[in-house]
Amino acid sequence: MATQGTFYSSSLFLFLFFFGLLSFSAEAALKKYQFDIQVKNVSRLCHAKPIVTVNGMFPGPTIYVREGDRVQVNVTNSAHYNMSIHWHGLKQFRNGWADGPAYITQCPIQAGNSYTYDFNVTGQRGTLWWHAHIFWLRATVHGAIVIMPKQGTPFPFPQPHMEFNILLGEWWNTDVEEEVKKGNKLGLPPRASDAHTINGKPGPLFPCSEKYTYAMEVEQGKTYLLRIINAALNDELFFAIAGHSMTVVEIDAVYTKPFTTQALLVGPGQTTNVLVQANQIPNRYFLAARPFMDAPLTIDNRTATAILQYKGIPNTVIPSLPHLPAPNDTSFALNYTSKLRSLNSANFPAKVPLNVDRHLFYTIGLGMNPCPTCQNGTQLTASLNNITFVMPKIGLLQAHYFNIKRVFRTDFPDRPPTPFNFTGAPLTANLGTSLGTRLSKIAYNSTVELVLQDTNLLTVESHPFHLHGNNFFVVGMGIGNFDPAKDPAKYNLVDPPERNTVGVPTGGWAAIRFRADNPGVWFMHCHLELHTSWGLKMAFVVEDGEGPEQSILPPPKDLPTC
Ligand code: C2O
């Protein structure tokens, strides 16, 4: 059985290898990657179909760097779709040109063209990921980013023997872009995916999966680091390993206070690093992932599996399944989330903004609009503060940097136009959403608190919100309506989790804080692709500061044009 992973070994060979690296690259290195966007026939679940890939791989190649490195990824687009790649969670300090969301920070790379994403990895180490950031193409165009600590800096937890990347995803038997088009015609969501996957493979609970099961080999008594990434389009996922507990040590490339758990909850866009000790009777054990869904919608309990296999155990042994929380287990989800804390050590302090310059309150709404051209006569839609975001025709960052007028407005409201009982009785209509490319302007270096409030417009649902260009601290979270008089007193301002994607609980709220010290245009959106495509997105314009290192860098020469 094939084993993939990265060894940490003190064998003489590896010692010499690392010693060699040490002597030649004490300074930050330049790491170059070539990404060829190409269509390839791939088969899963008894079906073969052409998919868009990077270098013909699904999932795509891992970007492997060290903190402090400069990275250049030359992306050549040989597919028939426009393309852009986002380096999810990398801060891209002053360098939105390399961030990647199509029409937000760049025009897409057109078929036949290429663009080099050129960025520094500064002040971050851990697991992130990259994905296509245009339409639904990230279904097959995604991969891991592993940022090792600086040379000579150990992890703040026991050194693992070896590490594995675990990418959770979704698979459609048909062309996803076609499914989206069909859905839009009807005014409905596209067909749900046909399987969940672990490293691109659904595992034996799905048909024709004999060849399509990922397996990782472990040795008894050793400790392993798993870098778990949720690359699914529309599902928050529970993850567990039969017979083994996991110790969470990092989320979204930020170290956490370690805690041990039987299962994880990972939202789309989020990453979680865990230590796993191979301390059980040598055998084969299933790793499993399946959706968490506590909204009153259809329950999806299709489970992706992979195998944790002790060395020497034959493939004929049938593994046992782990105990995963029930698909609608809200209390597990809330309890798990409440255990996440920043490490907040001397080396890795949690710099939580204690004073807030700018208070923002955004309602998350789903809705239904009349649609004369849709087969149903209506169309599902989504909004923040009742505004459904309209994608511009050129990149917003260019429009901002070159001062091109009439591309966007900067009057995104700081609070909803009409307050209402957000999570009260279901309201069947939306409150009259308007369309617009409206951004919120933020003064350089100001501190921002944003409360994201779910609403019962159409239905409550949990929403993984992702902010580009910045990490934020999740200082508070609750069920029901946010109470500005009482809830702030309960905030954790000492060691709240720092991340780039937060799950706003179903029918609840999340409060995040960040310092706007990264000038540029930064996208913020629900990482459920379905909701993003319905307009559940907006962007911040963080203004330049006065100092020499406080303004947006000039754009690269090969920046694509629209
Ligand atoms: Cu991972 Cu804007 O995305």
Strands (DSSP E) found in 60-108:
63-66, 70-77, 85-88
pLDDT digits (tens, 9 = 90+) for 114-136: 999 999 999 999 999 999 999 99
Q: What is the pLDDT of residue 297?
A: 72
The answer, yes or no, to whether any atom of ligand 1 lies below 6 A from the CB of 468, is: yes
Q: What is the pLDDT of residue 486?
A: 97
Q: Return the DSSP state at 73.
A: E
Q: Return the DSSP state at 121.
A: -
The residues, ordered by sequence, that sit 6+ positions from 181 with a Cβ below 8 Å of its Cβ are none
> Mean pLDDT, the chain, as a whole number?
93
The answer, yes or no, to whether any atom of ligand 1 lies below 6 A from the CB of 88, is: yes
The answer, yes or no, to whether any atom of ligand 1 lies below 6 A from the CB of 133, is: yes
Q: What is the pLDDT of residue 294?
A: 87
Higher pLDDT, 216 or 18: 216
Give the integer Cα–Cα distance in Å for 190 and 181: 8
Superfamily in which the 358-542 domain is placed by CATH: Cupredoxins -  blue copper proteins (2.60.40.420)
Q: What is the pLDDT of residue 48?
A: 92
> How many CB atoms within 10 Å of residue 411?
12
The answer, yes or no, to whether any atom of ligand 1 lies below 6 A from the CB of 212, is: no
To the question of domain 22-148 being in CATH 3.40.30.10, the answer is: no
The residues, ordered by sequence, that sit 6+ positions from 501 with a Cβ below 8 Å of its Cβ are 89, 252, 267, 268, 269, 270, 464, 465, 466, 467, 527
Q: Which CATH class is domain 162-338?
A: mainly beta
Asked if the model's pLDDT at residue 206 lies above 50, the reply is: yes
Tell me which residue has its CA closest to atom 3 in ligand 1: 88
Q: What is the pLDDT of residue 289?
A: 98
Asked if the model's pLDDT at residue 23 lies above 50, the reply is: no
* CA of residue 16 to ligand 1 center, whole Å: 39
Give the integer Cα–Cα distance in Å for 111 and 528: 26
Q: What is the pLDDT of residue 22?
A: 45
The answer, yes or no, to whether any atom of ligand 1 lies below 6 A from the CB of 86, is: yes
Give the integer Cα–Cα distance in Å for 226 and 275: 6
* CA of residue 102 to ligand 1 center, whole Å: 11
* CA of residue 459 to ligand 1 center, whole Å: 24
Q: For residue 128, list its beta bridge partners.
A: 145
The answer, yes or no, to whether any atom of ligand 1 lies below 6 A from the CB of 101, is: yes
- What pLDDT band is residue 61 in, cutting at 50, 70 and 90? very high
The answer, yes or no, to whether any atom of ligand 1 lies below 6 A from the CB of 466, is: yes
Share of the chain above pLDDT 70, in %: 94
What is the number of the ligand 1 atom nearest to the C-alpha of 525? Answer: 2
- Three-class DSSP category at 145: strand
Helix (H) or strand (E) holding 216: strand 215-218
Q: What is the pLDDT of residue 346?
A: 96
* CA of residue 273 to ligand 1 center, whole Å: 19
The answer, yes or no, to whether any atom of ligand 1 lies below 6 A from the CB of 131, is: yes
pLDDT digits (tens, 9 = 90+) for 497-540: 999 999 999 999 999 999 999 999 999 999 999 999 999 999 99
Q: What is the pLDDT of residue 5?
A: 67
Domain span(s) for CATH 2.60.40.420 in the chain = 22-148, 162-338, 358-542
The answer, yes or no, to whether any atom of ligand 1 lies below 6 A from the CB of 525, is: yes
pLDDT digits (tens, 9 = 90+) for 45-56: 998 999 999 999
Q: What is the arithmetic mean of pLDDT over 232-242?
A: 97
Higher pLDDT, 38 or 424: 38
- Three-class DSSP category at 234: coil
Q: What is the pLDDT of residue 20?
A: 40
Q: What is the pLDDT of residue 21?
A: 46
Give the integer Cα–Cα distance in Å for 477 and 510: 4
